[in-house]
Structure 1
Amino acid sequence: MGILEINHVSKSFNGRKVLDDISIEVQEGEFVTILGPSGSGKSTLFHLIGGLITPDEGSIMLDGGNITGKRGSISYMPQQPALFPWRTVLENVLLGQELHEKKDVEKAITMISKAGLSGYEHSLPSELSGGMKQRVAFIRALLSPQSLICLDEPFSALDDFTRLEMHQWLLSIWADFKRTILFVTHNMDEALFLSDRIIVLSSNPAKVIHEVKVPFERPRESELLLKNEFLAIKKELYQTVGRA
């Protein structure tokens, strides 16, 4: 039994089915990516897991409990950093803990340092670059007490060089803390570089059509993106998504 179990979930809006009989299981400490074309219902699935909307059919289980339609069960990082502009870096990363009355300032400062943001603890978001803001948002998600972190295309707005830098940073932080992550993207390089497993969705409506167990050992370096084995799996994914 996984830490997260999505069981035969379907969802329609205005008579149009967006998700069709989706079943996904994520194990503790896994990094699982949901890959699919734009508009394939990936974000809708996250909204269901987060309890923002309820499925028409099926259930969602987390840590053995039914969280269908319940909010506050997961830690969520959206596409934009969504930092409060009037709160400092330290105050922003502590927000998730504050909401659960479990504030650990010392650990937060340690995480900020690991993120390469020492000296910015009392800076406002307006003083940070795009990549720095994303680091703050991820630390906030990582420090939140929930067992599952959902990352919704968090690097889509970054340029290619900053994105790769963020991938390597994310993996280094994740290796230290091994939180369970469910990640959404339509970028195949990103999915392959980061994940333990990749679940491919079709579109109109979304169904699970393929799954890849990523064979590359960790830690992973940027040179991996040019290796033949990496490119072969990327081709497999490209052909699968192209048929979706």
Structure 2
Amino acid sequence: MSILTLQDISKTFSGIEVIKNLNMQVNDGEFVSILGPSGSGKSTLFSLIGGILTPEKGTILLEDDIINGRTGSISYMPQSSSLLPWRTVLQNVLLGQELTAKKNKEKAMQMLEKAGLTSYVHAYPHELSGGMKQRVSFIRALLSPQPLILLDEPFSALDELTRLDMQKWLLSMWENNRQTVLFITHNIEEALFLSDRIVILSNKPASIVSEFVIPFKRPRDEELFLTEEFLEWRRKIYRTLKV
């Protein structure tokens, strides 16, 4: 079942076409990563899906409902954690649920415990490390009632070891919930490790160059990075991006 469908999406800024006739589909429970050159329109695409921008042409469907220019339809996790500094960890993760007045404090506590944040439930964002803030932000996204989560390079500011830890943690949380995720990254290894499918965008105006279904079985661990199959897939994606 398709959760998100983009039909012939085009977007222009100051006469410059950023996205042109883009078509894409994301299925229920799928983890899809978007790779493309810097400035290719990836974040613009997220702004269109989130309703912050409206396409000049095309239709955005969420569960068969047209959401062009409509905010509040999806859950979004940006590059920075964007936690509210005056709210505790628990209050921050419950923020998305306040939209529906269906707070699930018990589930929030269970997820915070799995994230190793039980002792920080009543702490404030300034008391957390960068990785801890990103965990809180992702739990907030998972707990939000919307059917689709957009993750915009959420680990780009983290050091390499923390980033790998966060990737493994994200996978463990996602595999328990299997919500539909659309993920932006510049990192080929990250996309291969996390994704069911990878979509490659061209330079501006952005359109889809290639799509790859990733064959690695789940659950996955860091040993995957050392396999010849992983390295071959990395070369394949790299060559596609360089064209």
**TM-score, structure 2 length as denominator?**
0.99
Identify which range, 205-214 or 98-107, moves more after superposition: 98-107
Query: Structure 1: how far apart are the matches of 2:3 and 2:153?
Result: 22
Query: Structure 2: how far apart are the matches of 1:214 and 1:16?
Result: 34
Query: Structure 1: how far apart are the matches of 2:231 and 2:146?
Result: 35
The alignment covers a number of residue pairs equal to 243
Measured against aligned partners, the alpha-carbon deviations of 1:122-142 in whole angstroms (never above 9, x if no partner) come to: 000111000000000000000
Deviation at 1:102, TM superposition (A): 1.4
Matched, 1:46 2:46: yes
Measured against aligned partners, the alpha-carbon deviations of 1:7-52 in whole angstroms (never above 9, x if no partner) come to: 1101010011111111110110000011111111000000000000
SS at structure 1 position matched to 2:106: helix
Instruction: Please give the residue correspondences for 1:162-177 in structure 2 after superposition, counting only pairs within 5 Å.
Output: 162-177=162-177
**Structure-1 residue corresponding to 2:225:** 225
**Structure-1 residue corresponding to 2:16:** 16
Instruction: Please give the residue correspondences for 1:109-188 in structure 2 after superposition, counting only pairs within 5 Å.
Output: 109-188=109-188
Deviation at 1:101, TM superposition (A): 1.4
Give % identity.
60
Query: Structure 1: how far apart are the matches of 2:39 and 2:229?
Result: 29
Query: Structure 1: how far apart are the matches of 2:232 and 2:206?
Result: 25
Deviation at 1:118, TM superposition (A): 1.1
Query: Structure 1: how far apart are the matches of 2:16 and 2:165?
Result: 39
Query: Structure 2: how far apart are the matches of 1:41 and 1:226?
Result: 32
- Cα RMSD for the two superposed structures: 0.7
Deviation at 1:77, TM superposition (A): 0.4
Query: Structure 1: how far apart are the matches of 2:124 and 2:44?
Result: 31
Q: Which runs of 4+ in 1 moved over 3 A?
A: none
Which consecutive residues of structure 2, in runs of 5 or more, have no partner in the other structure? none
**TM-score, structure 1 length as denominator?**
0.98
Deviation at 1:148, TM superposition (A): 0.3
